[in-house]
């Protein structure tokens, strides 16, 4: 069970927003998996913010009207997608949480700007994501201590 949890944590950025199946053969693990929720909480938070965000509601309306400018957008399970990536509302707390998860966490590993950006941008979209990654990394206390 520990190995499964660790694996899910390690591959979280690739599993996020996608359905996946864990094949097991032990009854105790089946019980555990039935009690746990494979959905990541950040997606629920994004859904809640989208409902109250005027800009994203307007984008959804344009998408429903088949506006040509919005052909790269789609809706899936209450999430607005841009070229298959989840659109993150202009909410500082959500973006900060994503940046921490993809850079500062054990899984993120304080990697280079390009690596962190690519992992984050493969799943999520917002205007200025690359600059946000650079700015976040520049303010990382752990990285600053390591440079000294």
Can you give the pTM of this predicted structure? Answer: 0.65
Q: Sheet harboring 85-87: ordered strands across? A: 73-76, 79-82, 85-87, 124-125
For position 38, what pLDDT does the model report?
Answer: 37
The CATH topology of domain 2-147 is Endonuclease III; domain 1 (1.10.340)
Secondary structure (DSSP) of 74-125? EEETTEEEETTEEEPPS-HHHHHHHHIIIIISTTTTT--HHHHHHHHHTTEE
Categorize the per-residue pLDDT at 58 as very low, low, confident or very high, splitting at 50, 70 and 90.
Answer: confident
Categorize the per-residue pLDDT at 39 as very low, low, confident or very high, splitting at 50, 70 and 90.
Answer: very low
Taking all residues of the chain, what is their mean pLDDT, rounded to a whole number? 77
Q: Is the pLDDT of residue 121 over 50?
A: yes
């Amino acid at each position: 069970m520990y190995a499964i949890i660790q694996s899910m944590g390690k591959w979280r950025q690739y599993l996020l927003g996608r359905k996946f199946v864990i094949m097991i053969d032990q009854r105790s693990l089946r019980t555990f998996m039935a009690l746990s929720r494979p959905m990541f909480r950040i997606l629920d938070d994004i859904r809640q913010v989208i409902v109250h965000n005027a800009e994203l509601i307007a984008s959804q309306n344009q998408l429903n009207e088949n506006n040509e400018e919005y052909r790269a957008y789609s809706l899936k399970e209450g999430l607005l997608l841009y070229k298959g990536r989840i659109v993150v509302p202009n909410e500082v707390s959500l973006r900060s949480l994503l940046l921490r998860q993809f850079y500062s966490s054990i899984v993120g590993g304080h990697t280079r700007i390009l690596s962190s950006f690519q992992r984050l941008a493969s799943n999520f979209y917002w205007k200025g994501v690359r600059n946000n990654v650079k700015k976040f990394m520049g303010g990382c206390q752990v990285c600053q201590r390591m440079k000294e």
